Amino acid sequence: MTICFATNNTNKVKEIQALLGSSVNLLGLADIGCAEELAEDQDTLEGNSLQKASYVFEKYHVACFADDTGLEVEALAGAPGVYSARYAGPQRNAGDNMNLVLKNLMGKDNRKAQFRTVITLVTAQGIHPFEGVLKGSITDNKKGTQGFGYDPIFLPNGFNQTLAELDLAEKNKISHRALALQKLVLFLKQHE
């Protein structure tokens, strides 16, 4: 079985290929000759992941999965959500995004938040969505240098370190992306 992961990150492709084993041949966008930027202009994580996977499936005729991830803060009515990457503007700067979340939470007691990843697999047999959620809270300030995005201000439930303070192996065991990916891998193994 050959499947494309809608990414240009070869390290992500290798990482997921290792989880899938030899029964699945995993390709990245470059492997199928897709050089264009994939649109992400939907108003939900589900919409963006479906948009990317469907585009690749329809144009390149290969089963494809794509993901989208957002930070959802309860006191901010679920924001930044689908706009997580560009919350503070089109420059997509992680520092600016974190600063805006912290500013918008000033004076608020409720700091509950969650990271949510949606992976959508599009095949000739249909559309298959998978979700992973990591619950936690937003800290008062940034801590740690590992990871990316909002990791320095996100404290997972049951931990006393932010995602940016955890080592990569520990983060990958609990992350929203890893949880969604585990569901995808299980599905693919059941449908070989």
Per-residue pLDDT tens digits for 20-70 = 878 889 999 999 999 998 999 999 999 999 999 999 999 999 999 999 999
Structure tokens belonging to residue 35: 């050089």
pTM of the model: 0.91
CA dist., res. 133 & res. 177, Å (int): 8
Query: 154 forms bridges with which residues in the sheet?
Result: 138
What residues are annotated to the active site? Answer: 68
b/e sequence 36-74, b meaning 16+ C-beta within 10 Å:
eebebeeeebbbbbbbbbbbbbeeeebbbbbbbbbbbbe
Pairing of strands 112-123, 126-138: antiparallel
Least confident among 4-13, 138-147, 155-164: 4-13
Could you say which architecture CATH assigns to the domain 2-190? Alpha-Beta Complex (3.90)
Pairing of strands 25-27, 2-5: parallel
Could you give phi then psi for residue 7, rounded to 5 degrees? -150, 155
pLDDT of residue 24: 87
Taking the CB of residue 17, how many other CB atoms lie within 10 A of it?
17
Tell me 160's DSSP state.
S
What's the pLDDT tens digit per position in 67-119? 999 999 999 999 999 999 999 999 999 999 999 999 999 999 999 999 999 99
pLDDT of residue 66: 97
Taking the domains of the chain in order of start, what are their residue ranges?
2-190
Longest dimension (CA), the chain: 52
pLDDT of residue 12: 82
Taking the CB of residue 87, how many other CB atoms lie within 10 A of it?
23
